[in-house]
Amino acid sequence: MREFQVMGSIIDEETRCKHYNSKVDIIAIKFHCCKMYFPCYSCHEESGCGTHKVWPKDQFNEKAVLCGICKHEMTIEEYKNSQYKCPSCHAEFNPGCGLHWELYFEN
């Protein structure tokens, strides 16, 4: 299994952070601007590159979402169509993340 470095205020090995740490807060997102994984927008704001850019629609085939349980790396399109479950290990993701789509991905 490939190892991924997730940056930010991580509190466990399943990518939960000080901002989002419920049972289902188990994804990290690779930010388009710096190509680094963070658990959330707030973590990126605190310790990221300082130049926030969302993923453009024409790059939704890029692998940019990481399951914190099995470390499966998904494309943005795969994540978008996942119904908030990992396609590899079937762990449940937080459906509330969909409310913040525009912080990470172009609408």
* Cα three-residue angle 58-3-71, rounded to 5 degrees: 65
Residue 1 has a pLDDT of: 56
Mark the ranges of the chain whose per-residue pLDDT is less than 50. Answer: none
Residue 4 has a pLDDT of: 87
Contact 61, 70 (CB under 8 A): no
Report the C-alpha gap between 91 and 107 in whole angstroms.
Answer: 26
* Cα three-residue angle 14-96-47, rounded to 5 degrees: 55
Residue 3 has a pLDDT of: 79
Contact 27, 97 (CB under 8 A): yes
Contact 60, 105 (CB under 8 A): yes
pTM over 0.85: yes
Q: pLDDT above 70 covers what percent of the chain?
A: 98
Q: What is the DSSP-derived secondary structure letter of residue 88?
A: T
